[in-house]
Structures are given as structure tokens and as C-alpha cells.
Amino acid sequence: MGKFANQVRAFVDVAKEDMRYVATEAIQDVVEAAQTTQLGVTRGADGFEEGKIPVGLTADLVNSLTSSLNGGGETEGPDGYTTVIANFDLGDSMRFAWPMEYAMRVEHGFTGTDELGRKFNQAGRHFVGANVARFPEFVEARVREVRGK
């Protein structure tokens, strides 16, 4: 193979490495932002910051995070996502979920009466959605890092 072809191949390899870096770091930024905790109402909070996950007496929600790569086995725990992201390659798919039964109520809010007769008027914390919406911001920051090297 000629010198030019080798140069093109080297350029493509660097570009792929940079794309993988931007993708993995921006995805990790989203998950870390979603896992950023704040005091929950069961621990005395009288307000909340949208985009942060509330931590109550047991921290069950933040600890329930599950992560998987390409539909494979799930990694459980609040830091398990790092292993999944570390094994990511361009073209792979990752899944992150908080499977606690009340996770959707915390994310989207709930107004009404539950099955135990308790009345709620709880605003959504949007710890997932608010941070997923920030993905372009995270990508731009990581692209600036790559361009600055």
C-alpha cells in the first residue's frame, strides 16, 4: 500500500478514536448528571433542583441504575455504567435505566391518589430527561476538547 493510503488510514483511525472519545465522554456526562443527587423530601428537603435525582432515606433510586451494552447482561449499581461505557464502540447501543417502581413518578411527577389512598401533587424531577436534553451541550464541550489537543 502506498504512502498516501497509509496517511489516509492513519487519519481515519484518529478520527474514529476522536469520535469514540466524544461519544463515550458525552454519554458519561449525561449519566453522571442524571446520577447527581439532591436531598429528597423524606430527608427534609423543602424544594428541589430539576435534573437531579432525589435521595431519600434508603437511596434506592440512585442505587437502582442498571446499564447494558448491545442488549447484553445488565450491570447494576450506581457506578456500573462506567464499565458499559468503557466497552462501548461506535455502532454499539447502550441502555441505562432506573427500575425502581416509583422511578417514573419521580421523573415525570404524579398528581392523584395512589393505591393506598394517599394524595399526591408531586412535580417531576426530570433527572433523566433534563440531562438527556443537555446531550448536545456535552458533545460540544467534548468536541472542543478534541479540537484543543
Q: What does the pLDDT look like over 6-52, one tens digit per residue? A: 888 877 777 899 999 999 999 999 999 999 999 987 787 888 899 99
Q: What is the rounded average pLDDT of the residues 101-112?
A: 94
Counting the structural domains of the chain, the total is 1
The residue segments making up the domain with residue 72 are 3-148
Q: How long a stretch of residues is the chain?
A: 149
Instruction: State phi, psi for 92 to the nearest 5 degrees.
Output: -75, 165
Joined together, the cell numbers standing for residue 39 give 436531598
Query: The pTM is what?
Result: 0.88
**pLDDT score of 57:** 86
**Parallel, antiparallel, or unpaired: how do β-strands 109-113 and 119-123 relate?**
antiparallel
